[in-house]
Structure 1
Amino acid sequence: MLFAHLGSEPRIHPDAVVAPTAVISGDVTVAAGCQVLHGAVITAEGSPIVLGENTIVMENAIVRASSTHAVHVGAHTLVGPMASIAGADIGEEVFLATGTRVFNGAEIGDRSEVRINAVVHLRTVFPPETVVPISWVAVGDPLLILPPDRHEEIWAAQKELDFPGYVFGLDRETPDLMVQLTERYGRSLSRHGTDRRID
């Protein structure tokens, strides 16, 4: 299903294949040879998304750009089932396994692997050929790759990255943080009310 959103329509190369139950919304470019499988959602929320040639986005994966963070996925990259990418730059020949999470401002170098259920926190930068083990957490620049049981070290690096400030423009210490966050984010997402299906 293709949707016009915020005045932009998806551009799908004629050699790309998009499953009929996939959703592609807004300023999205899908290059030649791409495969977007059933249930995948690729949505540009104010910044563009570009899928390079021969990229595969598997079932129920989510690729989302925000108004401040575009998404670029390099050629010959595989985005696994139920993986999510939010406002990140993914290199070429990257493998994002099932259930991986990649957050805003992350940069993943060419030929890297983020294995099953691993997390790449916001503003984290990988050199090429980095591997994040199954369920581990990558955080920061310089890069730390830690097992999930080392929460205190992960939090020490993550806190400085300021998720609510960087992604939502809100101070973590705001007393009604979630009230402000959901109201502001909800207003932004309500712009989908005027989307128009184009296929």
Structure 2
Amino acid sequence: MITSYREYTPLIDTDVWIAPDATVSGNVTIGAGSRVLHGARIVAEGGGAIQIGRCCIVMENAVIRATTRHPCKVGDHCLFGPHSHVVGAQIEDEVFVATGASIFHGAVIGKGAEIRVTGTVHLRSHLPAGATVPIGWIAVGDPAQNFSPDRHEEIWAVQKPLDFPGFVYGVERTSPDLMRQVTTRLSENLRAHAHTAIEPNT
């Protein structure tokens, strides 16, 4: 399903295939030779752009998102495995994002990097060209350091100053009504879905 979001309609090369049960919505550009498989979601909310290069493969149930504050740009020849999740990141050419891996807002992934099964690159973290995040590990910081998931306190020491609620939602972590502010803002921003227009798949 290809849908407009507010005034934005996806720009999709004629040599792109999108599965009939996938979704491409909003300010999205997809280059020639790319393929979006069943159940995948490529969603640009509030005008934040998503640019996907040539010959990229977005596999089943993968999600690529952008927001007003955090556009997303993907280079050429990238592969996103099933159930992977990317939001508001900059990804260079020939990057492999394995099954269940996640890349968060403001992350920068260098050319030829690999995020292996269920690996995570956290917000505002920079993974150098050719680097690898091992299976299930977390990369955080600039430059990114890899941590095994049992090292939470060390991860948090690097992650906390990156300020997820402030960077992503513009809300102070110490606000006593943090979740009320976050969900109210998101609700208002997503109100535009009530006026979504559906385009025919190409």
Other-structure match for 2:39? 39
After TM superposition, the runs of 4+ consecutive aligned structure 1 residues lying more than 2 A away are: none
Q: How many residues are treated as equivalent by the alignment?
A: 199
> When the two structures are superposed, what TM-score results if normalisation uses the length of structure 2?
0.97
- How far is 1:142 from its partner? 2.5
Secondary structure of the residue aligned to 1:154 is: helix
Other-structure match for 1:113? 114
Query: Residues 91 and 111 of structure 2 are in contact (CA less than 8 Å); yes or no, is this contact kept in structure 1?
Result: yes
CA–CA separation in structure 2 for the residues paired with 1:29 and 1:110: 20
Other-structure match for 1:66? 67
* Residue type at the aligned position of 1:69: H
Structure 1 unaligned regions, length at least 5: none
Q: 1:68-104 CA deviation, whole Å, 9 max, x = no partner?
A: 1111111000011000110000111000000011000
Query: Residues 128 and 143 of structure 2 are in contact (CA less than 8 Å); yes or no, is this contact kept in structure 1?
Result: no
Secondary structure of the residue aligned to 2:156 is: helix
* Residue type at the aligned position of 1:23: T
Other-structure match for 1:154? 155
Identity %, equivalent residues: 49
- Higher relative contact order, structure no. (Cα contacts within 8 Å, ≥ 6 residues apart): 2
Other-structure match for 2:27? 27
* Residue type at the aligned position of 1:131: T
What pairs with 1:1-199 in structure 2 (closer than 5 Å)?
1-45=1-45, 46-199=47-200
Structure 2 unaligned regions, length at least 5: none
Secondary structure of the residue aligned to 1:173 is: coil
CA RMSD, Structure 1 to Structure 2 (Å): 0.7
Secondary structure of the residue aligned to 1:24 is: strand
CA–CA separation in structure 1 for the residues paired with 2:135 and 2:193: 35
* Residue type at the aligned position of 2:21: T
Q: 1:109-157 CA deviation, whole Å, 9 max, x = no partner?
A: 0000000001110000011001000000000113211000000010001
> When the two structures are superposed, what TM-score results if normalisation uses the length of structure 1?
0.98
CA–CA separation in structure 1 for the residues paired with 2:71 and 2:43: 11
